[in-house]
Amino acid sequence: MKIGVPKEIKTNENRVALVPGGAEALVAAGHSVMIEKGAGEGSGFSDEMYLAAGATLGKDADTTWGGADMIMKVKEPIAPEWPRMKKGQLIFTYFHFAADQTLTKAHMDSGAVCVAYETVELPSRELPLLTPMSEVAGRMAVQEGAKYLEKLYGGRGVLLGGVPGVPPAKVVVLGGGIVGINAAKMAAGMGAHVTILDLSLERLRYLSDVMPANVFLLYSNRHNILEQIKSADLVVGAVLIPGAVAPKLIRRED
């Protein structure tokens, strides 16, 4: 198979879909890999590293897309890339189609075969390609939230872990999945008072066994959510419905 890896052009997207080690493994398996020049630079991988792994370099996006049976990307193709898609071409990336009707229609019209990373499931119903990004998202949510609680960034001057004589911040996490558990771990590790809400009692029982003592668990319903956000310093939305738009659990007027 001819595999093309174009450079990501979405704003502030610095990742690359294939690292040099992955390119080497695909070449060893008999495939050909073309990396667009400069595609790996934002992630710290030079063109020379890909050449050493057995890949070739595409001089531009048109070249990389044009000769490929399969395109590997990180983010969904955006409007300038749509004309490059062709019928029967396999496109493997994060799509999140449920959130964008225009994007969905453009890909249907192209005739390309689109496989969304976020919907690939194991027999156990785990999402192996979404899990690493969810781990990052959960941890980053608390890291960014802590920053924006600082006065310098318009916050109330709240320190997540508090100090002797001052109580810690209250962090509310909506959802006890991969994003939620990583957000809770990060917030708890910083000393915050953490509450996780989830619909699954089985999941809450599991979290009860693995979470530290400063993490508290509640069944998720409208009443409990409203009660918790009244006194929350930081709220993390961590609810996932695979292949669908995440539900809006908090309204602006709340």
CATH architecture entry for 131-237:
3-Layer(aba) Sandwich (3.40)
* Cα distance between residue 141 and residue 144, in whole Å: 5
59-64: list long-range contacts, CB under 8 Å, 24+ apart. Answer: 60/36, 61/6, 61/7, 61/9, 61/36, 63/34, 63/36, 64/4, 64/5, 64/6, 64/34, 64/35, 64/36
**Residue 134 vs residues 86, 107, 120, 148, 190: alpha-carbon distances, Å:** 31, 25, 14, 21, 20
Catalytically annotated residue among 96, 107, 193, 223: 96
Domain ranges in the chain are: 2-119, 131-237
Verify whether residue 96 is a known catalytic residue: yes
Residue-level pLDDT, tens digit, the chain, 254 residues = 999 999 999 999 999 999 999 999 999 999 999 999 999 999 999 999 999 999 999 999 999 999 999 999 999 999 999 999 999 999 999 999 988 999 999 999 999 999 999 999 999 989 999 999 999 999 999 999 999 999 999 999 999 999 999 999 999 999 999 999 999 999 999 999 999 999 999 999 999 999 999 999 999 999 999 999 999 999 999 998 887 888 899 998 88
Note whether 26 and 33 are within 8 A (CB).
Answer: yes
139: its two tokens: 């941890």
Residues paired with 165 in a beta bridge: none
Q: Which CATH number fits domain 2-119: 3.40.50.720, 3.40.47.10, 1.10.287.810, 3.40.30.10?
A: 3.40.50.720
Q: Are 2-119 and 131-237 equal in CATH topology?
A: yes
Backbone torsions φ then ψ of 218, nearest 5 degrees:
-135, 145
